[in-house]
């Protein structure tokens, strides 16, 4: 039986994007399934932790602005940011939850499109039109997807995912959850790799 | 001519300790010198950034309490905390600055003793007596070291190091500075290694 690793993400984070690329490879190496679960840093970091957004944090904001492009370059991942790098991740998260309820595999492909568009292709994925186009490319109806973004049931479904992530202790992205252990950061992928290989230490 | 990397540390951080162990190996591999420079997270994180101490931050505090022992185990570094893991790093930082002004190499050995004592040997390195013993083992006079901790010149020297670190943009530890680039976190050591090998990317 394949093990399942939970991957917590928020489209707002370029580190989350790097994590989404890396976990595919790491999980495949160990025959591990990945369950993609959305969260929102606006709720965990600003709401629960009471911290300012990372980009606006003195010292750390400027550091991050240099560090994440350096990480992209090191990994050979194109960096071309949609919306000048600022993103409202709520519509994309809700669209993901709506798709996931119908087809988990399509939801992963949708998330990968959103991440790649926002961070590697310069497409503003805060835009409902662009989200609808991403859904359409996967066979989902444009108007249904747009309607879903305001559907109270979809909103509740997405919010329940965010609340469950925070209940588990997830505060930042990417976070990987396996065997009751949380690993936070794309720079913890080597630890996840080792954990999956050895069963822990 | 050997290049010099600046290593910013605070004895309060177990990640700083892991970084202090790792940078020795990475720097040696590239024939790079390391300049050990003290900072204080109490000034950068709490003072300048306006954030609570990491251990008291919701979600992140509990995460860290699990993550750093997991990092120690993975690296085979013994974890036995002085003072139940809480540390007042100011006296140790001042003692370091006092020693560094006399003998840079002895200061590195002192810092390594303090880190190892606090995090691997269960010795409370907030204690002036224990700091004096660490200095004595390196040939420094016990009473002179203790007097230095309250010497306004030593205080100012140490504070100037902290201010210079923050002016450079250092907010957390370990931070590595080379070629104008900051790398924060012991998990960025592979990037430092690559940077030193390639001259950047």
Phi, then psi, of B5 in degrees rounded to 5: -105, 135
Instruction: Mark residue A200 as left, alpha or beta (left: phi above 0; alpha: psi -120 to 50; beta: remaining).
Output: left
Measured CA to CA, the distance from residue A8 to residue A184 in angstroms comes to 9
Q: Alpha helix locations (H) across chain B?
A: 14-29, 41, 60-75, 90-100, 104-120, 128-136, 142-148, 152-168, 189-198
ipTM reported for the complex, 2 dp: 0.95
Angle among Cα A72, A25, A44 to the nearest 5 degrees reads: 65
Give the chain B residue nearest A47 (alpha carbons).
B58
* DSSP per-residue string spanning A22-83: HHHHHHHHTT-EEEEEE--HIIIIIIIS-PPPGGGSTTHHHHHHHHHHHHHHHHT-----GG
**pLDDT, tens only, A65-114:** 999 999 999 999 999 999 998 999 999 999 999 999 999 999 999 999 99
Is residue A10 within 8 Å of residue A39, measured between CB atoms? yes
What's B54's DSSP letter?
Answer: G
Q: Which of B59, B74, B185 sits opposite A44 (nearest CB)?
A: B59
B118 closest CA partner among B90, B148, B86, B93:
B86
Q: Which residue of A has its CA nearest to B74?
A: A201
A60 contacts on B by Cβ (under 8 Å)? 49, 171-172
Q: What is the pLDDT along chain A (201 residues), one digit of tens a residue?
A: 789 999 999 999 999 999 999 999 999 999 999 999 999 999 998 889 989 988 899 999 999 999 999 999 999 999 999 999 899 999 999 999 999 999 999 999 999 999 999 999 999 999 999 999 999 999 999 999 999 999 999 999 999 999 999 999 999 999 999 999 999 999 999 999 999 999 999
Q: Cβ B194–A170 below 8 Å, yes or no? A: no
* Burial bucket for residue B44 (CB in 10 Å: 0-12, 13-18, 19+): buried
Question: How close, in Å, is residue A57 to chain B by CA atoms?
Answer: 6
Q: How far, in Å, CA of A48 to CA of A55, rounded?
A: 18
Structure tokens at B162: 């902290």
Contact with chain A for residue B65, Cβ under 8 A = no
List, in order, residues 6 or more apart from B78 with CB less than 8 Å away.
B72, B120, B121
For A156, residues 6+ apart whose C-beta sits below 8 A from its C-beta are none
Q: How many other β-carbons are positioned within 10 Å of the β-carbon of residue A104?
A: 12
Instruction: Verify whether the Cβ–Cβ distance A169 to B62 is below 8 Å.
Output: yes
Q: β-pairing, B181-184 with B175-178?
A: antiparallel
Instruction: Tell whether A196 is within 8 A of chain B (Cβ).
Output: no
Under the phi-then-psi rule, with left for phi > 0, alpha for psi from -120 to 50, and beta for the rest, what region is B36? beta
Strands A181-184 and A33-38: unpaired
A51 at B interface, C-beta within 8 A: yes
The alpha carbon of residue A96 is apart from the nearest alpha carbon of chain B, in Å, by 25
Provide the whole-model pTM: 0.96
């Amino acid at each position: 039986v394949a093990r399942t690793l939970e991957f917590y993400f928020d489209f707002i984070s370029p580190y989350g994007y790097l994590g989404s690329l890396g976990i595919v490879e790491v999980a495949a190496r160990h025959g591990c399934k990945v369950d993609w679960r959305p969260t929102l840093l606006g709720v965990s970091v600003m709401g629960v932790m009471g911290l300012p957004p990372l980009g606006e944090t003195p010292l750390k904001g400027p550091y991050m602005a240099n560090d994440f492009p350096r990480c992209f370059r090191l990994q050979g991942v194109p960096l071309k940011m949609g919306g000048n790098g600022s993103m409202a991740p709520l519509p994309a998260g809700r669209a993901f939850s709506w798709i996931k309820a119908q087809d988990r595999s399509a939801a992963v492909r949708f998330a990968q499109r959103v991440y790649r568009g926002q961070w590697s292709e310069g497409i503003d994925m805060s835009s409902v039109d662009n989200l609808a186009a991403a859904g359409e490319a996967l066979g989902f109806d444009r108007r249904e997807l747009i309607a879903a973004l305001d559907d109270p049931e979809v909103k509740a479904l997405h919010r329940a995912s965010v609340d469950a992530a925070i209940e588990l202790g997830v505060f930042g992205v990417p976070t990987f959850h396996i065997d009751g252990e949380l690993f936070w950061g794309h720079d913890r992928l080597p630890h996840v790799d080792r954990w999956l290989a050895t069963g822990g230490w």
